[in-house]
Structure 1
Amino acid sequence: MSTTGGRVLPLRVPLLPGESLDSWLEALARRNGISLRSMLAFLGLRTPSYTRRLYTTLTAGTLRDLEERAGLRPGQLDEAVLAPDFPFGPMQAPGSRYCPRCLAEREGRWLLTWWLPWTFACTTHHLLLHDGCPACDALPRLKTPTRSHDFPAGICTTRASRGADPCGADLTSATSTPLPAGHPLLDTQQWLHGLSPDQAATVSSDLLALAAWLARCLTEADLDSTPPEFLSAWRERRTGPVTSPTGRPRPTSAAVAGILAHHARPLLDTSDIAAIDAIRRLRHRSGPISRMMPAGMFFENWTTLSPGLHGRFLRVADPVLGAMDRVRLRSCTTRARFPRRQGPQPAARARHIPQLLWPTWTLRLIPRQGIKESLFRAVMSVLLLLPGQTTRNARKVTDQLNPHLPTYTTRTLQVLLGNEHDQALPALCYLADYLDEHGSPIDYQRRRRLVPAEPISREEWTELCFATGTHPGGKPGAPISRHVHAQRHLHQLLTGSDLNNPQQPLAWRSPADRSRHLTFTLTLTLAQRQALRDYAAGILERLDIDEPVTWEPPEDACTGLTLPGPRFTDVDLTDVRRLVVTEGRRITEAADALNTTPTHIRLALEHIDHQPPPAGPNSPLAAWRLRQRARDLITREFLEREYVTGRKTLTVIAAETDLPRHVVVEQAEAIGITIYRSPRPLAIDAAWLREQYLTRKRSTSDIAHEAGTEDETIRRRLQRLGIPLRAPGVHSRTIMTATLDRTVPRDIRAAVEGTLHGWLRLHRFEIAMAFPTLDTAAGYLQVHQSALVTQFQRLERDIGHPLFERGAFGKPHRPTSRGKALLRALNKPHVRKLMHQALAPTTLTPMPDTNTLARATTDVTTRRTPGPLTPFDDIPVERIRIRAETLTLLRDLLDHHDAEFYAAQLSTRTGLRQSSLSPRLRQLEQAGWLTSRLEDDTSWLSRAPEGRGPGRRRLYYALTPDGRRAATHELQHRASGRRKRQNAGTQPATNH
Structure 2
Amino acid sequence: MTRWTDERIPLWVPPAEGEALDSWIEAYARRLAVTGGEFTRFLGLSGTDPRFMVRRLTNAERDTLAPRTGLTPEALSAMTLDRFDGVIVAIDPDDRSMGRPPAWRHYGSRSRFCPACLADHHGRWPLSWRLPWSFACVRHELLLCDYCPACGHPPPVSTRGRGKPSSPGVCLHATETGRAIRCGYPLTGSPAPALRHDGAVLAAQHAVNREILGTSVAGEARTRGQELHVLARRALRGIHELPSAPSVVDAILDDCGGALPALAVRDEANDAHNTAVGTAVAVIATDRDHPACDEVFTWLLSTHRPRVPRSNYATSKISEWLPAGPRVVNRMLSAADSELTFIARLRYGTATSAPAWPDLGDEDVRHRASKLPAMIWPSWAFRLLPAETDAPVAGFRRACASLMLLPGTNWDYPQAAALLGNTSPKSNRRALDTAVTLSGAETLVTVLPALAKALDGHPVPIDYNRRRRLFSPDSVSFDHNAYQELCQRHGWRSHTPVRIQRLHWQLARLLLGADPGAASRTPAGHLSFHYRLHPGLHELLHEQAAANLEAHNIDEPVSWEPPAAWITDPGLPPGPETINRSRLAQHAADGPEPADLACLLGLDDARLLLAVETFGTTAPHPVQQRPPAPGRRTPRQGVLAPRSLQQLYQEQQFRQHQIAELAGCSISTVRHALDEAGIPLRRRRPAGHLEKSVSRAWLEAEYHHKGRSSPDIARELGVRKDDVMRLVSKWGIPRHPTSQFTNPFASLDTDLSPAMHAVSRTKNCIQRLRHLTVTSGHRTLQDAAAELGVTWGTLNYQLKRIEEAAGFTIIATGRSRPLTITEDGRRFLDEATRLLSLLDDQVHREPVTLPQRRETVH
2-structure distance, mates of 1:613, 1:595: 27
Structure 1 residues 365 and 494: CA distance shift in structure 2, 3 A: same
Out of 330, 342, 350, the position equivalent to 1:323 is 342
Out of 371, 374, 378, the position equivalent to 1:359 is 378
Code of the residue aligned with 1:568 in structure 2: it is P
Listed one character per residue, the Cα deviations across residues 524-577 of structure 1 (whole Å, up to 9, x for unaligned) are 13343233222212222222111111111111111124124x321333457767
- The answer as to 2:1 corresponding to 1:20 is no
1-structure distance, mates of 2:60, 2:603: 69
2-structure distance, mates of 1:410, 1:657: 53
Out of 263, 270, 287, the position equivalent to 2:288 is 270
1-structure distance, mates of 2:559, 2:63: 57
Moved more, 271-280 or 77-86: 271-280
Structure 1: runs of 5 or more not aligned: 1-6, 502-507, 620-625, 644-649, 679-709, 716-724, 737-781, 796-834, 845-992
SS at match of 1:131: coil
Listed one character per residue, the Cα deviations across residues 255-297 of structure 1 (whole Å, up to 9, x for unaligned) are 33222222211333336998667534643689x99544686x8
Structure 1 residues 840 and 610: CA distance shift in structure 2, 3 A: closer
1-structure distance, mates of 2:715, 2:281: 105
Counterpart of 1:521 in structure 2 is: 530
Out of 407, 414, 432, the position equivalent to 1:395 is 414
Structure 2: runs of 5 or more not aligned: 1-6, 89-100, 305-309, 630-638, 655-660, 664-670, 695-712, 717-744, 763-792, 816-858
Structure 1 residues 638 and 841: CA distance shift in structure 2, 3 A: closer
2-structure distance, mates of 1:140, 1:526: 90
Aligned 8 A contact 1:203 1:268 in 2: no
Structure 1 residues 456 and 317: CA distance shift in structure 2, 3 A: same
Please report how far the alpha carbon of residue 485 of structure 1 lies from its aligned counterpart in structure 2 after TM superposition: 1.8
Please report how far the alpha carbon of residue 514 of structure 1 lies from its aligned counterpart in structure 2 after TM superposition: 0.5
Aligned 8 A contact 2:135 2:272 in 1: yes
Structure 1 residues 251 and 732: CA distance shift in structure 2, 3 A: closer
Code of the residue aligned with 2:379 in structure 1: it is T
Listed one character per residue, the Cα deviations across residues 274-323 of structure 1 (whole Å, up to 9, x for unaligned) are 8667534643689x99544686x883xx2322222221122122221222
Counterpart of 1:434 in structure 2 is: 454
2-structure distance, mates of 1:555, 1:132: 62
Structure 1 residues 600 and 193: CA distance shift in structure 2, 3 A: same
Out of 390, 406, 417, the position equivalent to 1:386 is 406
Which structure is richer in relative contact order (CA contacts within 8 A, separation 6 or more)?
A: 2
Code of the residue aligned with 1:570 in structure 2: it is T
Counterpart of 1:242 in structure 2 is: 264
Out of 731, 735, 738, the position equivalent to 2:757 is 731
Structure 1 residues 398 and 194: CA distance shift in structure 2, 3 A: same
Counterpart of 2:607 in structure 1 is: 600
Counterpart of 2:657 in structure 1 is: none
SS at match of 1:352: coil
Please report how far the alpha carbon of residue 355 of structure 1 lies from its aligned counterpart in structure 2 after TM superposition: 0.9
1-structure distance, mates of 2:515, 2:434: 22
- The answer as to 2:108 corresponding to 1:98 is no
- The answer as to 2:485 corresponding to 1:450 is no
Counterpart of 2:186 in structure 1 is: 170
Code of the residue aligned with 1:156 in structure 2: it is C
SS at match of 1:493: helix
Counterpart of 2:138 in structure 1 is: 123
Counterpart of 1:132 in structure 2 is: 147
Counterpart of 1:424 in structure 2 is: 444
SS at match of 1:402: coil
Listed one character per residue, the Cα deviations across residues 193-225 of structure 1 (whole Å, up to 9, x for unaligned) are 122143433222112212332234453553443
Counterpart of 2:826 in structure 1 is: none
Quick one: percent identity of the two aligned structures?
25
2-structure distance, mates of 1:665, 1:213: 84
Aligned 8 A contact 2:588 2:619 in 1: no
Counterpart of 1:152 in structure 2 is: 167
- The answer as to 2:255 corresponding to 1:255 is no
2-structure distance, mates of 1:273, 1:359: 46
- The answer as to 2:31 corresponding to 1:35 is no
Counterpart of 1:938 in structure 2 is: none
Counterpart of 1:377 in structure 2 is: 397
Please report how far the alpha carbon of residue 123 of structure 1 lies from its aligned counterpart in structure 2 after TM superposition: 0.8
How do 1:502-521 residues align onto structure 2 when only pairs under 5 Å count?
514-521=523-530
Counterpart of 1:209 in structure 2 is: 230
Please report how far the alpha carbon of residue 517 of structure 1 lies from its aligned counterpart in structure 2 after TM superposition: 0.7
Counterpart of 2:578 in structure 1 is: 570
Counterpart of 2:837 in structure 1 is: none
Listed one character per residue, the Cα deviations across residues 51-89 of structure 1 (whole Å, up to 9, x for unaligned) are 4x6555568998799667754456443474243222545
The structure with the largest alpha-carbon Rg is: 1
Please report how far the alpha carbon of residue 143 of structure 1 lies from its aligned counterpart in structure 2 after TM superposition: 10
1-structure distance, mates of 2:752, 2:61: 105
1-structure distance, mates of 2:377, 2:283: 44
TM-score using structure 1 length: 0.56
2-structure distance, mates of 1:593, 1:42: 96
Code of the residue aligned with 1:338 in structure 2: it is W
Listed one character per residue, the Cα deviations across residues 496-515 of structure 1 (whole Å, up to 9, x for unaligned) are 244342xxxxxx6x96x711
Code of the residue aligned with 1:225 in structure 2: it is A
1-structure distance, mates of 2:364, 2:714: 71
Please report how far the alpha carbon of residue 520 of structure 1 lies from its aligned counterpart in structure 2 after TM superposition: 0.8
Code of the residue aligned with 2:282 in structure 1: it is A
Counterpart of 2:502 in structure 1 is: 485
1-structure distance, mates of 2:747, 2:428: 74
SS at match of 1:150: coil
Listed one character per residue, the Cα deviations across residues 218-248 of structure 1 (whole Å, up to 9, x for unaligned) are 53553443464735432x52xxx532xxxx5
Code of the residue aligned with 2:391 in structure 1: it is I
Aligned 8 A contact 1:97 1:115 in 2: yes
Aligned 8 A contact 2:26 2:159 in 1: no
1-structure distance, mates of 2:64, 2:532: 80
Counterpart of 2:209 in structure 1 is: 193
2-structure distance, mates of 1:293, 1:92: 29
2-structure distance, mates of 1:188, 1:118: 10
Moved more, 518-527 or 53-62: 53-62
SS at match of 2:328: helix
Structure 1 residues 272 and 519: CA distance shift in structure 2, 3 A: farther
Aligned 8 A contact 2:135 2:273 in 1: yes
How do 1:341-356 residues align onto structure 2 when only pairs under 5 Å count?
345-356=364-375
Please report how far the alpha carbon of residue 422 of structure 1 lies from its aligned counterpart in structure 2 after TM superposition: 1.5
Counterpart of 1:853 in structure 2 is: none
Aligned 8 A contact 1:98 1:114 in 2: yes
2-structure distance, mates of 1:665, 1:437: 50
2-structure distance, mates of 1:38, 1:634: 122
1-structure distance, mates of 2:531, 2:63: 74
- The answer as to 2:259 corresponding to 1:233 is yes
Aligned 8 A contact 2:414 2:425 in 1: no
Moved more, 160-169 or 113-122: 160-169
Please report how far the alpha carbon of residue 169 of structure 1 lies from its aligned counterpart in structure 2 after TM superposition: 1.9
Please report how far the alpha carbon of residue 174 of structure 1 lies from its aligned counterpart in structure 2 after TM superposition: 0.9
Listed one character per residue, the Cα deviations across residues 99-153 of structure 1 (whole Å, up to 9, x for unaligned) are 1111222232222322232322111001111121111121234999666983224
Q: What count of residue pairs does the alignment treat as equivalent?
A: 663
2-structure distance, mates of 1:733, 1:415: 74
Structure 1 residues 843 and 396: CA distance shift in structure 2, 3 A: same
Please report how far the alpha carbon of residue 659 of structure 1 lies from its aligned counterpart in structure 2 after TM superposition: 8.8
How do 1:286-301 residues align onto structure 2 when only pairs under 5 Å count?
291-292=313-314, 299=320
How do 1:637-716 residues align onto structure 2 when only pairs under 5 Å count?
712=747, 714-715=749-750
